[in-house]
Amino acid sequence: MTTSTTMSRSTGYRFSWIGMIGFAIILFWAIIAFLAPHIIPYPVGEIVDEDYFGPMSSKLLLGSDYLGRDMLSRIIMGARYTVGISLAAVCLACFSGAALGMAAAVIGGWFDTVLSRFLDALNSIPSKLSGLVVAAAVGSSLPVLIIMLGVIYIPGAYRFARSLAVNVNTMDYITVARTRGEGIPYVVFSEILPNIIGPLLADFGIRFVFIVLLLSGLSFLGLGVQPPYADWGALVHENIGGLPFGAPAVIVPSLAIASLTISVNLLIDNLPKKIRDRSA
């Protein structure tokens, strides 16, 4: 990988080109999602094309959908839902999962046992199935989607953080902190967290991808984001009829999902590495 790496002497970190490409694509989607209402060429609900599943043209850059709405605008607005919901859900899953996991490792005993067994039980329910059940039971709204996706991924984040924290917890500096009389919050956030933050961030990225895919899957089944709003998964679902015509309306949202998930993976596989030998 020596050919794909570059060095930054000033920051003391080594970046890889592949990671930079991934980061650029993520940044691109983040900006799109943030600025969406200001850059869409047409309102998302407006029918602008007489034909449905229209091809790419200079007027409609990505063609039109099954009702003749502008596909580019819908994808730009869809980015808000896909990126926004997934990000909120992954934050919920990873922050609470990691905090619980580290606390369980430090406190140990019955707290650890009860929490672990409970989350194992939660983990044993297939994620799509529990998504379907919740959506059927309480209906699908944005807050419900975020909480549901978050809760589904808490056990994984918990397990991961706990296994890392258990190793760090055996170190002498934790014993030193405890004999100093430090409380649990200090040990968790000040002594353990800085040592496992790297793997936790990588886990955050992976879980983000899982959630994007699960959200897209739910939306494709019609249980995710409800019309008139649409995320990318819902866009694929509502335009599936365009598949025989090779319409861009079904291909482009699929590509959008792929580009986001793959670039997140590229980034977390190529996070900047710290250069230990700084005297060079």
Partner 1 sequence: MANLVEIRDLKVEAKTDSGRRIEIIKGIDLDIAPGEIVALIGESGSGKTTIALTIMGYARPGCRISGGSVTVAGKDMVALSERQRANVRGLEVSYVPQSAAAAFNPSKRIIDQVIEVTRIHQLMPPAEAREKAVSLFRALSLPDPDGIGNRYPHQVSGGQLQRLAAAMALISDPKLVIFDEPTTALDVTTQIEVLRAFKAVMKKSGIAGVYVSHDLAVVAQIADRIVVLRGGEVQEVAGTNEILADAKHPYTRELLSAFEPKPRGESIVAALERKPLLQVNGLIAGYGPVQPDGLPLVKAVQEASLSLERGRNLGIIGESGCGKSTLARSIAGILPASAGQLTLDGRELAPSARQRSREQLRELQIVFQHADTSLNPAKSIEEILGRPLKFYHGMKGKARDTRIDELMDMVRLPKALRSRTPAELSGGQKQRVNFARALAAEPKLIVCDEITSALDTVVAAAVIDLLKEMQRELSLSYIFISHDLSVVEAICDEIVVMYNGRKVEEITPAISKVPQHPYSKLLFSSVPKLDPSWLDRLERDPELVKTYVQG
Supply 141's token pair.
């709204």
Cα gap 81→38, rounded to integer Å? 16
CA distance 31 to 117: 41
The answer to whether residues 47 and 33 touch, using CB atoms and an 8 Å cutoff, is: no
β-strands 273-274, 5-8 pairing: unpaired
Binding of residue 272 to partner 1 (CB under 8 A)? no
End-to-end CA distance of the chain: 20
Q: Pick one of 27, 31, 176, 243: the residue that binds partner 1 (CB under 8 A).
A: 176
Please check whether residue 241 is in contact with residue 66, taking contact to mean a CB–CB distance below 8 angstroms. yes
Pick between residue 50 and residue 172 the one whose CB is nearest to partner 1. Answer: 172
Among 1, 143, 180, 244, binds partner 1 (CB under 8 A): 180
# residues near partner 1 by CB under 8 A: 23
**Nearest Cα to 157, choosing from 93, 103, 213, 202?**
93
For the bound state, the minimum distance from the C-beta of residue 5 to partner 1, rounded and expressed in Å, comes to 10
Cross-strand bridge partners of residue 15: 6
Q: Does 194 bind partner 1 (CB under 8 A)?
A: yes
The reply to whether 178 sits near partner 1 by the rule CB under 8 A is yes
Find the binder of partner 1 among 123, 195, 259, 265 (CB under 8 A): 195
Task: With contacts defined by CB under 8 A, name the span among 52-60, 105-113, 153-161, 170-178 that binds partner 1.
Answer: 170-178
Q: Is 175 in the site for partner 1 (CB under 8 A)?
A: yes
| Binding-site ranges for partner 1 (CB under 8 A) | 7, 14, 171-173, 175-176, 178-182, 191, 194-195, 197, 273, 275-280
